[in-house]
């Protein structure tokens, strides 16, 4: 950016005064080179600490001060950066932590004005110096401005030839302005980097949502993914009671900078972008459900129009040749006819389930199990209880949900047909990486029954999915079935 006429005149005047103050031509050239070095640090050094260190060192040499320092205050009042020049490492180690912006240093920022003192100890604001601090008499402090607001100070002490003069104040004010420009540029760059990180995170999460890799119905999983993609700075994003992503106004993910409004706008754009992707992902799921419903209807029609009719025809043909059912051949044929009738009944039940109209409850596992328990126990002289724990509808996918429903159906069937129970309780839980089904009745227990095909079926379902199944008879009587599998299993 080209300098204005006023800025050029001010810089020219400053250079001329610096040259006039030099003892000879060689020193004059050195002092001008220090000014140029400080100015170049603002435009060339992307690392803010390096640029500010060059500025404070140039400032100390230009005004012939023994000590120089530069402090930058963060938005929360803490010291964001503190750089010094003129102190050796041993002295720095003895002094301990850097100043916190109290005393005369805090006054430079609070008053937002240059402070020039011939003898520092004579000023009542000169407090807070730690033990082992070197003696300092003359003092010059200038506020550093960023966007019109004081963000720190540049100060020098112990001028080698008496108090600081007007020329020194002009030189340090110019260098403080350079420091302010360096800070503003650095924060602008950091802000753009944060925006880039959040933009890329929004793109990646949107892709994963639309690809089905993330559930659109699990806001907390989306927040966790955002945290991983942004390096752990997603604590400013949270979910409300309706599982919607929102910007948390009480969280500060910006590390103490004063860019809250800009960062909040970035986070808001992230939330809006991901929210749109969630809606698109839900719409895609709805389309797939409609397509699935159409396919189920087609299968149901084929089963009814072709398979059942064919089986029925075979059964009639066999019945016509049974003859005497008491003969060995007749008995075998009669048995097969009964098997065909049983198969037709099972197919009709499957057709009924396939033909059930799609609805919100059809795809809610909780609703499906509620309906199953009600329909299975309807008309039975049984008390019942049903309990859910954990994100059953969120983490259990439709394929595993079908398995869970089948297991509950088999367990309830056993309780109704064989247990002679007065009460049965069902608990479905999703805890950690596991989904579990616990069915307890107060019936007659396992006893010596040899009808174990249903239990073997439950055990096989669990083993196939890498889980476990156990059935026990507690000392108090009855039967307890516990079926557990990983909810992430395929």
CA gap 159, 295 in Å, rounded: 89
What pLDDT does residue 6 have?
46
Tokens of 480: 């307890």
3-state SS class at 259? coil
Give me the helix-helix angle, 25-44 and 5-21, nearest 10°.
Answer: 140
- Hey, CA dihedral for 88, 93, 97, 102, is it positive or negative? negative
What single string gives the DSSP state of each residue in 60-100?
HHHTTEEEEEEEEE-TTSSEEEEEEES--HHHHHHH-SPP-
Query: Dihedrals φ, ψ of 6, to 5°?
Result: -65, -40
Q: Is the pTM of this model over 0.75?
A: no
Higher pLDDT, 146 or 23: 146
pLDDT at residue 442 is higher than 80: yes
Q: Which of 162, 73, 150 is nearest to 110 (CA)?
A: 150
Contacting residues for 7 by C-beta, under 8 A, at least 6 apart = none
- Which residues of 101-205 form beta strands (DSSP E)? 115-117, 139-146, 149-159
pLDDT at residue 452 is higher than 70: no
Element (H, E) at 143: strand 139-146
For the chain, the residue count is 490
For the segment 298-317, the average pLDDT, to the nearest whole number, is 70
CA gap 479, 426 in Å, rounded: 12
319-346 per-position pLDDT tens digit: 677 666 677 777 787 787 777 777 776 7
3-state SS class at 355? coil
Model confidence at 470, pLDDT cuts 50, 70, 90, reads very high
For the segment 472-476, the average pLDDT, to the nearest whole number, is 84
CA gap 449, 451 in Å, rounded: 6
377-402 per-position pLDDT tens digit: 877 777 888 888 888 877 888 888 88
Contact 344, 309 (CB under 8 A): no
In the chain, the domains with their CATH numbers are 5-190 (3.30.450.40), 361-490 (3.30.565.10)
Tokens of 109: 């920022």
Place of tokens 């009639």: 316
Contact 140, 118 (CB under 8 A): no
Query: Dihedrals φ, ψ of 343, to 5°?
Result: -65, -40
CA end-to-end span of the chain: 61
Higher pLDDT, 128 or 233: 233
């Amino acid at each position: 950016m080209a300098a204005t006429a006023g800025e050029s005149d001010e810089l020219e005047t400053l250079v001329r005064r610096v040259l006039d103050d030099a003892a000879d031509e060689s020193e004059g050239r050195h002092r001008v080179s220090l000014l140029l070095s400080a100015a170049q640090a603002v435009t060339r050094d992307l690392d803010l600490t390096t640029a500010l260190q060059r500025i404070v060192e140039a400032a100390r040499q230009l005004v012939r001060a023994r000590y120089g320092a530069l402090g930058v205050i963060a938005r929360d009042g803490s010291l964001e950066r503190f750089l010094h020049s003129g102190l050796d490492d041993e002295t720095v180690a003895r002094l301990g932590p850097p100043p916190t912006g109290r005393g005369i240093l805090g006054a430079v920022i609070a008053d937002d004005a240059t402070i020039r003192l011939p003898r520092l100890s004579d000023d009542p604001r000169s407090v807070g110096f730690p033990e082992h601090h070197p003696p300092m008499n003359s003092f010059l402090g200038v506020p550093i401005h960023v966007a019109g607001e004081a963000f720190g100070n540049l100060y020098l002490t112990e001028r080698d030839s008496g108090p600081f003069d007007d020329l020194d104040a002009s030189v340090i004010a110019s260098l403080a302005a350079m420091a302010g420009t360096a800070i503003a540029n650095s924060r602008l760059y950091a802000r753009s980097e944060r925006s880039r990180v959040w933009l890329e995170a929004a793109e990646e999460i949107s892709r994963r949502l639309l690809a089905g890799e993330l559930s659109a119905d699990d806001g907390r999983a989306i927040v966790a993914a955002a945290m991983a993609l942004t390096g752990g700075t997603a604590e400013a994003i949270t979910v409300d009671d309706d599982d919607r992503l929102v910007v948390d106004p009480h969280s500060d993910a910006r590390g103490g900078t004063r860019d809250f409004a800009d960062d909040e706008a970035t986070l808001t754009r992230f939330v809006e972008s991901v929210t749109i992707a969630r809606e698109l992902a839900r719409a895609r799921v709805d389309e797939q459900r409609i397509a699935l419903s159409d396919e189920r209807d087609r299968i149901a029609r084929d089963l009814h129009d072709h398979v059942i009719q064919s089986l029925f025809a075979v059964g009639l043909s066999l019945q016509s040749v049974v003859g005497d059912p008491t003969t060995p051949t007749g008995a075998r044929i009669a048995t097969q006819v009964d098997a065909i009738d049983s198969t037709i009944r099972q197919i009709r039940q499957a057709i009924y389930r396939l033909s059930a109209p799609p609805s919100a409850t059809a795809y809610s596992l909780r609703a499906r199990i509620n309906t199953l328990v009600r329909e299975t126990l309807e008309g039975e002289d049984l008390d019942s209880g049903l309990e859910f724990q954990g994100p059953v509808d969120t983490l259990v996918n439709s394929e595993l949900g079908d398995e869970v429903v089948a297991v509950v159906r088999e367990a309830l069937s056993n309780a109704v047909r064989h247990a002679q129970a007065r009460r049965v309780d069902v608990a479905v839980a999703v805890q950690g990486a596991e989904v579990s089904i616990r069915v307890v009745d107060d019936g007659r227990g396992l006893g010596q029954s040899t009808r174990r095909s249903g239990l073997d079926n439950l055990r096989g379902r669990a083993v196939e999915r890498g889980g476990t199944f156990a059935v026990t008879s507690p000392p108090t009587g009855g039967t307890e079935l516990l079926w557990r599998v990983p909810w992430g299993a395929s």
